A and B are shown apart, each in its own frame.
Chain A
Amino acid sequence: MTRLATPAPWRLRRTNTGAKWVDAASSRYSLAHTGDPMPPAAPILARTTLTCITRAFATLESQRRPAMRRSFLPRGPILRAALGPLCAVALALGLPVTGARAAEPIRIGEMNSYKAQPAFLAPYRKGMELAVDQINAAGGIGGRPLELIIRDDGGNPGDAIRVAEELITREKVDVLAGTFLSHVGLAVAGFADKRKVFFLAAEPLTDKITWSDGNRYTFRLRPSTYMQVAMLMPAAVEKKAKRWAIVYPNYEYGQSAAATFKEKLKAAQPDVEFVAEQATPLGKLDAGPVVQALADARPDAVFNVLFGPDLAKFVREMNAREALKDTFFVSLLSGEPEYLDPLKGEAPVGWVVTGYPWYDIPTPAHQAFLDAYQKAYGEPPRLGSIVGYTAITSLAAGLKKAGSTDPEKLVAAFEGLDVVGPFGPFQYRASDHQATMGAFVGPIGLKDGMGVMLDPVYVDGLSVLPSDDEVKKLRPAAR
């Protein structure tokens, strides 16, 4: 056992012994020996054996309960209260704590807009921590445990760059990961390129991060805006609707989704007519007038890009006005529990959406994840949980393949890296550094008074991505 307690992400100060640090937020002690350059040999041997035995479990997504959950809210106080002082005393007396000096952890600097996007990122964080627990319980990577150092990126690029600097200079992290907001992700990607640091952009959707602004050191996990739109195209084309309307939040995500949708639909169905286009201010949708304006255009079908509170307002207003009742909808992300659940019984039945039907994915990989997650947290996962979990799984796979934390080796390892996540196997493409992890598509229905995706189909990311040759033209900036 390497550590008696898992690493605490929010911590106050580190004592200068280098052997102990105190997590003030939860008053937990951790005994990761971060300052020791040469770990003793014997424990390494032991650990390697352990690693061999447990590796199988790790790749199959271990079902073991994580040793301890990490959250800002202290859990299991008695255990901690007992263990903490005990270890502190042991340390003070200079007693060897088994395995405490075993191996220097691999430090993952994770930064995200926890404060700005709590609904998505609280589950994301749980997903990450679950994965770290499982990997460490299985012996870590090459005998080294993973250590997560989590930071709030402030929800803006200015703070995010400072946080990235802090993670690199002060925390000496080996890789950067995270970000949710596209502009923050892009800024950190640019920083990673400049400082030649490996960066796994977990959540941002913007196409730019892998294409027009793509760079050598940045990889992206979640299916991009382009991919998500492309996943909806078959349903949209199949409907053979002539008159389409589009409603989207007025910023890059909405704009590029709308543009991609129009381009693709026009190509598949040249006689299509776009009869209305509403670009609404993010978070400040004036739902009544917008729904009415769309209805007045009498579309046969609508492409929706709204999400979050805007989506709820939009759907409410449709119901209240009995407007657009028989109109066909395709909608981005609306099947993600983060956005679907708050609608409760008012979920828009019949909309074809991309999302995450955690209740209806009967693969062993996903079942294993689902069981572990529910066991650990007592609640169902959200899409954020999948992204967080898979991000860590990806990093672990990449680190293992690279056999090093050197950024250049990591980049080489990630290009063409095969990963098995809860959604099954996928690959980080060498051509554009985009993961081919897919998403689920299906119509919304009601079950027990809650919105669900009916008969969800998993769409492999690779099937909706442009070919490697096309992608090369899209990546002028990448060397």
Chain B
Amino acid sequence: MALDALVFQAVNGLASASGLFLVAAGLSIIFGVTRIVNMAHGSFYMFGLYIAVTVADRLPSPFDFWGGVLVAVALTALIGALVELVLLRRIYRAPELYQLLATFALMLVMNDAALWLWGPEDQLGPRAAGLTGTVELLGRRLPDYDIFLALAGPAVLLGLNRLLTRSRFGRLIRAATQDREMVAALGVNEAVLFTAVFALGAGIAGLGGALQMPREPASLTLDLAVLGDAFVVVVIGGMGSIRGAYVAAVIVAQVKALCIALGTVELGGLAFNMSKLTLVAEFLVMALVLVVRPHGLFGRPAPATRIHASAVEAPLVPLGPGGRGAALAAIALFAAMPLIGDSFAYAPVLAQDVLIAVLFAASLHFIMGPGGMASFGHAAYFGLGAYGAAYAFLTLGVSTPAALVLGPAIAGLGAVVFGWFSVRLEGVYFAMLTLAFAQIVWSIVFQWEEVTGGSNGLFGVWPEGVLESPTGFYLASFALVLAGVLVLRRLAFSPFGHALRAARDSALRAQASGIDIARVRWLAFIIAGTLCGLAGTLFAFAKGSISPEAISVGRSIDALVMVLLGGVQSLLGPLFGASAFTLLQDTVMRETAYWRALLGALMIAVVLLFPGGIAGGLSDIAARLRRAAGRP
């Protein structure tokens, strides 16, 4: 590999870095001020590119490109402001992360809106007028536009810096980043500030998208593809640090460019294609950075944010007679499903999926609710369980029951390793490290053809013996899921569960009382991982196959959505959330071509009507009914 080739690739990397930085900067500003994990951020980027292409197609050259970019920025900022005013403003007081659910739902809606507006085919926009030439560098040709882009990142960085340090608006943003309560106490109109910040963030995302017009077509997969990158860059740089985001973007882009430049390398007689690493390079960097620096490169420990009084979880109370009756009825219904199946043949099939989702969600809830640790990579343990069981079953030839034990064990083992690193981190950093680990597991599974079947996965994982009949397997899953849910419930009421809550409620107080927070959290993480692995194992046998999607970011987000939809503050929340999510998805997928938008709209409705999730909504209704009946 010639040195000049490496240097040239480093220059290439700077253009890519600017692209990454522009997506990340908006996300960072929005999170810094509003603490919203904006899942719809990639959608603004995607809209930016679509709008720019659409406008550019209707304008004469040389105004096409630049006009498109301007309109895209203005419109995405406007959409951002509207979203904040209409949707987010109503849910700032909801428990933390509910904004995540709302913005995720928004992403679904926006994706279908793009499909409706622009159709399914990719749309390639014009190149930038005045920047279509190349310059010669190191005997190679570098497009003018790459140079422009490489400079655009630092320019936006400087502009934002100026805005943040020199203007009153900027000073307010910085103050709000450090202490939201303080800004509110100073009499600043928080609402206007938040709207402005959201519009600014969305506009920068739109700019990032629009500036990609000469390099890639607008397509419907951009939103999710970009979202992951944006999070990675923001977290490596340190949440809220714009400068950090730029440095992180440069690092990620350079690492990728290096992997591509190196191509196939020989190491001790083994040829390894480095370009394959680009699948996961950013996540490897992120995991490394977070393990060494828990708050990213330029991040500082977040100031302890006081949780809003209304958001504090109520103490645990055992179910009353009514609740116990309802629970028993639900258990009886699930147990009787194979009998119902005679008249409604599909019911047991759906019930099987509901059961798996319930255990998946309940295991996440255990660390996310009582533990206060929102994992963005819970699917890793689902996948480890599924793949572990499938591999043991297919290749090692163990029996189905043995595989049902081995799968969770392997997931548990994964949780032992990843948990040890993760539980030392707080909040979003914990979330992102778990995500990084999940992506690393995903990429290994995705590429390790011999063991995992690569991108296709493993097939023929059908249960044998007594479990071969659908009814037999259903009943076995039901028993295992019920046991798992009951164990988690029991744990929540136990001293261990309370220690976990204690660590969440006040880490300082818990430590001062002698609770070993890291160990409590680690053990909780392992328990959750193991039970999630059981869910994954059941999934593999129920579907007869397992593919890398089971570990994908989307799957992890599904789990988060189920927990939030059901209500993170209630032990019953994940059960409601998982059931509702599975049933809803199954139904809407048949209803309409625009089922994602419908699903998103329903989720937004839940968030707006019941900010405490379904469980919170139900208990509100129950309380109101009791009051109406004159009972205390």
Contacts and interface: CB of A to CB of B under 8 A. Distances in A.
Chains A and B are bound partners: yes
B13 A289 contact: yes
B219 A308 contact: yes
B494 interface: no
Q: Which of A166, A206, A251, A293 has the most CB of B within 10 A?
A: A293
B341 to A, nearest CB: 8
A346 B124 contact: yes
Interface string A66-89: 000000100000000000000000
Interface residues of B, number: 79
A322 B263 contact: no
B275 A317 contact: no
A187 B543 contact: yes
A45 interface: no
A182 B459 CA distance: 12
Interface string A324-346: 00000000000000100111101
A213 B474 CA distance: 26
A308 B122 contact: yes
B256 A10 contact: no
B443 to A, nearest CB: 9
A10 B596 contact: no
A164 to B, nearest CB: 9
Interface string A255-295: 10000000000000000000011111101101111101101
Contact of B225 (A162, A277, A283): A283
Nearest to A115: B596
Contact of B12 (A24, A190, A281, A288): A288
A186 B214 contact: no
Q: Which of B16, B134, B145, B264 has the most CB of A within 10 A?
A: B264
A72 B593 contact: yes
Contact of B122 (A119, A182, A189): A119
A473 interface: no
B80 to A, nearest CB: 24
Contacts of A279: 273, 275-276
A72 B120 CA distance: 15
A25 interface: yes
B595 interface: yes
Interface stretch (A32-40, A150-158, A363-371): A150-158
B120 A289 contact: no
A465 to B, nearest CB: 21
Interface in A95-142: 114-115, 118-119, 122
B120 A157 contact: no
Q: How large is the interface on A (under 10, 10 to 19, 20 to 34, 35 or more residues)?
A: 35 or more
B460 interface: yes
B412 interface: no
Contacts of A191: 543-545
Contact of B260 (A122, A290, A341): A290
A321 interface: yes
Contacts of B214: 316, 320
A165 interface: yes
B141 interface: yes
Q: Is the interface of A mostly helix, strand, loop or mixed?
A: helix
Contact of A278 (B8, B143, B260, B593): B260
A360 interface: no
B605 interface: no
A288 to B, nearest CB: 5
Interface string A299-329: 0000000001100110011001111000000
Interface string B376-415: 0000000000000000000000000000000000000000
Contact of B459 (A159, A213, A341): A213
B543 A157 contact: yes
A289 B217 contact: no
B113 interface: no
B189 interface: no
Interface in B141-181: 141-143, 145-146
A278 B264 CA distance: 8
A237 interface: no
A255 B264 CA distance: 15
Contacts of A11: 590
A278 B276 CA distance: 8
B468 to A, nearest CB: 10
Nearest to A151: B590
B549 to A, nearest CB: 4
B256 A255 contact: no
Contact of A276 (B263, B454, B594): B263
Interface stretch (B70-78, B342-350, B526-534, B562-570): B342-350
Contacts of A252: 449, 454-456
Contact of B124 (A162, A165, A286, A316): A316
A430 to B, nearest CB: 23
Given A320-B132, A321-B134, A152 B142 contact: no
Interface in B497-548: 539, 542-548
Contact of A114 (B225, B455, B550, B593): B593
A341 B15 CA distance: 27
A293 B459 contact: no
A162 B121 contact: no
A312 B141 contact: no
Interface of B: 2, 5, 8-9, 12-13, 15-16, 115, 120-124, 127, 132, 134, 140-143, 145-146, 214-217, 219-222, 225, 256-257, 260-261, 263-264, 273, 275-276, 278-279, 344-346, 349-350, 353, 446-447, 449, 454-457, 459-460, 462, 539, 542-550, 585-586, 589-596
Interface of A: 10-12, 24-25, 72, 114-115, 118-119, 122, 151-152, 154, 156-159, 161-163, 165-166, 169-170, 182-183, 186-187, 189-191, 194, 206, 208, 213, 250-253, 255, 276-281, 283-284, 286-290, 292-293, 295-297, 308-309, 312-313, 316-317, 320-323, 338, 341-344, 346, 477
11 contacts: A10-B591, A24-B591, A152-B589, A158-B549, A169-B346, A255-B454, A286-B260, A289-B13, A290-B260, A312-B216, A320-B146
